[in-house]
């Protein structure tokens, strides 16, 4: 019975799988239900607002203004690149937002839809606006290239064998996984790792966005 249930889940999964396109490589990538932008963006915006309400957001300082300034520049660079390469409208549902959070954690992240957080703990490493642009460009690149979506899909696939497809795809059971997939944590060890190819790709895209 267990074997039959497993194969039923696998067959069902095959029917549910869809693909997303990486606009920087043109390659198709796997996307499970619940990880497409139409689902991720509303969830991301809600999670982002909740995160801000629970953390100390820095406003009105020169550092906060720098984060906003760099973020806006990266958003413009991303749109320019995408428009020039046949992806007009790719960012139409993005609602860019840039916030500095007072936390000693060395981290920064970008959620689906352009929701960015930079921790004050990473500013000494960035040193200046150029360094911050490289860091933020890298994080935005992960979002634009759908790396978090791929990471979450892979993690959900790993769960299927243990808990069954019907459980693995329940959104309310995956909030922790969602936060891990997009780096929304104050514990670096709590994040799901990006693959080496994802990191290399984000480095290359990020440098362009930061230029």
User: 144: Cβ–Cβ under 8 A, 6 or more apart, which residues?
Assistant: 23, 24, 78, 82, 205
Cα 42 to Cα 34: distance, rounded to the nearest angstrom:
11
Instruction: Determine the angle formed by the axes of helices 147-163 and 2-16, rounding to 10 degrees.
Output: 160
Quote the radius of gyration of the chain (alpha carbons, Å): 18
Distance of CA 63 to CAs 74, 81, 109, 165, 173, Å?
A: 17, 27, 17, 45, 36
Buried b or exposed e, range 146-175, using 16+ CB within 10 angstroms: bbbbbbbbebbbebbeeeebeebbeeeebe
User: 22: Cβ–Cβ under 8 A, 6 or more apart, which residues?
Assistant: 28, 29, 145, 146
Placement of tokens 């190819």 in the chain: 197
SS3 (DSSP) at 4: helix
List residues with catalytic annotation: 139
Cα 211 to Cα 206: distance, rounded to the nearest angstrom:
9
């Amino acid at each position: 019975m267990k074997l039959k249930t497993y194969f039923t889940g696998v067959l069902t999964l095959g029917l549910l799988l869809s693909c997303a396109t990486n606009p920087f490589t043109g390659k198709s990538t796997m996307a499970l239900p619940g990880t497409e932008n139409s689902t991720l963006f509303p969830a991301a915006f809600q999670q982002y607002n909740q995160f801000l309400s629970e953390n100390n957001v820095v406003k009105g300082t020169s550092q906060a203004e720098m984060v906003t300034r760099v973020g806006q520049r990266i958003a413009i660079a991303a749109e320019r690149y995408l428009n020039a390469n046949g992806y007009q409208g790719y960012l139409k549902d993005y609602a860019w937002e840039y916030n500095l959070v007072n936390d000693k954690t060395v981290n920064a992240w970008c959620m689906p839809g352009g929701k960015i957080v930079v921790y004050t703990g990473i500013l000494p490493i960035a040193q200046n606006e150029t360094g911050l642009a490289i860091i933020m460009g890298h994080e935005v690149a992960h979002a634009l290239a759908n790396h978090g979506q791929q990471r979450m899909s892979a993690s959900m696939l790993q769960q299927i064998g243990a808990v069954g497809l019907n459980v693995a795809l329940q959104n309310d059971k995956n909030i922790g996984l969602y936060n891990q997939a997009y780096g929304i944590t104050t514990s670096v060890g709590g994040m799901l790792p990006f693959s080496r190819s994802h990191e290399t790709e984000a480095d290359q895209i990020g440098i362009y966005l930061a230029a």
